[in-house]
Structure 1
C-alpha cells in the first residue's frame, strides 16, 4: 500500500467495484506474534515439531484476550470502518472470532467450497439454515485478519472479485426474510463462477475488509508453515439501509444499490 493510500484511507471505488480492500500493516506484526503464541498453545501442536501437525485444519474458539482486541481495534482499522460503513454505524470488535488454523497437508480439509458467510438465524443448529438478506442483517463487513505471513501456497482465502454484486441481485427479490445458505448454495454459487479470483495473501498484520456478500472459499495448504487467520464480522450498530432520505449511503450500501441498478 502506498503512503498516499495510507493517508487517505481505503480505496472506496475499488471496494464498491471489487467487494474488498486490503489494509497492509493494519496492526503490528509484533502483536500478531503475541497472538500466535496463544494460538499455538491451544492447537495442541508443537511449533518446532511438524510431526505433531496431523490435521489439515484445527478450529479454535473465539479469542478476546488483550492482544486480539488490540489488533481488532487498531486506529487504522477503526478509520477504515468509518470510511466503509460510516461513523457511528458499526460496533467495536471485542473479539476476532474463531480461527481455522490450516496446516500443510495432503488431506482434503473438507471445507473448501464456495460460500458467503450468513449473518442471522444462528438459533438454528443447521448452518445451512442460517440466513442473509438484502440489508445484510447482522453483518456490516466480513474481515480476514492475517496473524501469520500468507503466501500463495499457504492456503490463502480465495475471493471472487465482484461477486457481492451477484449475491445482491439474488437476494433482492426476497426482502427482509432473505435466503438460507442452503438456498444460496443450491447451484454451487454458479452466478459468480465467471468472476476472476483474488488470493488473500499478505504479511502478518494484513487485514482484508470485504463486503458481506462476497463469495469466498478456503483451499488446501501446500506451503511449509501453518496459516493463522481469523474471519470475524464487523457488526452493524443499525441495519444497513438501501433507501436513505438524505442519500448518505456508505460504500457497503452503495455497492448493493449499484448492483441492483445494474440489474
Structure 2
C-alpha cells in the first residue's frame, strides 16, 4: 500500500471534490497536459493507478478519453459532466478508494464486504483451478442468474435500438464494431458486484481486496453479405515483456452462445509457452503482434447465458465471425487488486 500512497501525491489536488474523490483531479490534470502537448513522462505504474481510479470511480477509461475528445474543458466541467451523465460515485466506494490512495486501511464496510467474500464456499473447484493453471482460463458457470442475464441482454437490446425478433434491426451503424459503448447501468453494476463473480476472481488472485473495471458490453451480429466481422481478432492487451505477470480479463455471456456464434476465442495454455515462442521469432519479440496468432491453436469457447470466462491476459484472445442466425451478447467484467504487477517496458 505504501507504493500506492507515494504515487498518489505526485500532483497537488483539491482537498474536496464534487465527486468525493480528490485524486480524480490528478488524473484529469495528466490527461489535460497530454492534450495540450505538455505531458510529463508517466510510468506504467502511474498509468495503471490512473486506470484504477477511473474504474473505481465508476467512470471507466473510454468514457474519460471520449470526454476529452468531444468536450474538453476545465476539471469543474469534467465533474459536472460526470454528475450529469454518470452520477456521483457512492459514498462507500469513494471512501474506500480515498483510503487506499492514502495508504490507510479499508473502511469497516469494505472490510466486512471482503470478509464475506472470503467466507464464501469456493465457486471454483480444485479441478477448475488446476484447469486454470494448465490452460490459462476457466469458465464459471451460472456466474449470474438466468434472469439477470436476460435483464442485462434487454438493456443491451434497448441501448442499440434493436429487437431480438427482428433481424433487420441488428445492424445499426457502429464505428466500434462488435463493441457497444454502454458502460453505466444499474444492471451492469449489479453483475460486477455479483458475489459468485467476486469469489471466483478472489480465488485466482488470492485476495478479496479487488476492484471492478467499469467496462462496456458487446453485440456480435451474424454475418451477412453486407455485414462482415471486423474484429477484434486475436490480440493481447498487455506488454509481452517476459515473464508476463498475473493479470485477468473476463467476458460474461448474456445469451446461450455456440462456438460458431462469434464466441470468445483464445489460445489455451499459451501463457506457459509464450516466452519460448517469443524467443523463437525471427523478428524477435517486437514482431509478436504481427504474427498469425490463429495458427497457434485458437479455440472458441461456447457457453450458456450467465457463464463467465476468465482468462490470463498472456493468452492471445479475441472474437470470431458469427456464422449462426443469432447474435452474441456479452458484458466485459474484470476484477483486479490495486497493486497488480505491471512491467515498465512495452513489448
Give the paired residue count. Answer: 213
Do structure 1's residue 189 and structure 2's residue 282 form an aligned pair? no
1:241 Cα shift? 8.5
Distance in 2 of aligned mates of 1:227 and 1:218: 10
Calculate the aligned-residue CA RMSD, in Å. 3.1
1:235 Cα shift? 2.9
Distance in 2 of aligned mates of 1:62 and 1:135: 34
Higher normalized strand content (fraction of residues) = 1
Secondary structure at the aligned position of 1:153 is classed as coil
1:134 Cα shift? 4.1
1:215 Cα shift? 1.0
1:145 to 233, 252, 271: 252
Name the structure, 1 or 2, with higher relative contact order (CA <8 Å, separation 6+). 1
1:184 Cα shift? 3.1
Q: Which runs of 5+ in 2 are unaligned?
A: 1-120, 280-284
Distance in 2 of aligned mates of 1:75 and 1:10: 21
1:38-117, aligned counterparts within 5 Å? Answer: 38-54=155-171, 57-88=177-208, 90-91=210-211, 93=212, 95=214, 97-106=215-224, 107-117=227-237
Name the CA shift for 1:211/1:51 in 2 (closer, same or farther; >3 Å). Answer: same
Distance in 2 of aligned mates of 1:83 and 1:111: 31
Distance in 1 of aligned mates of 2:325 and 2:342: 44
- Residue 153 of structure 2: aligned partner: 36
Q: Which runs of 5+ in 1 are unaligned?
A: 119-130, 173-178, 243-263
Distance in 2 of aligned mates of 1:73 and 1:59: 22
1:230 Cα shift? 2.5
Distance in 2 of aligned mates of 1:219 and 1:31: 25
- Residue 215 of structure 1: aligned partner: 316
Distance in 2 of aligned mates of 1:155 and 1:58: 10
Show CA shifts across 1:69-108 (max 9, x none).
Answer: 22122222222111111114532x253x122311112332
Larger radius of gyration: 2
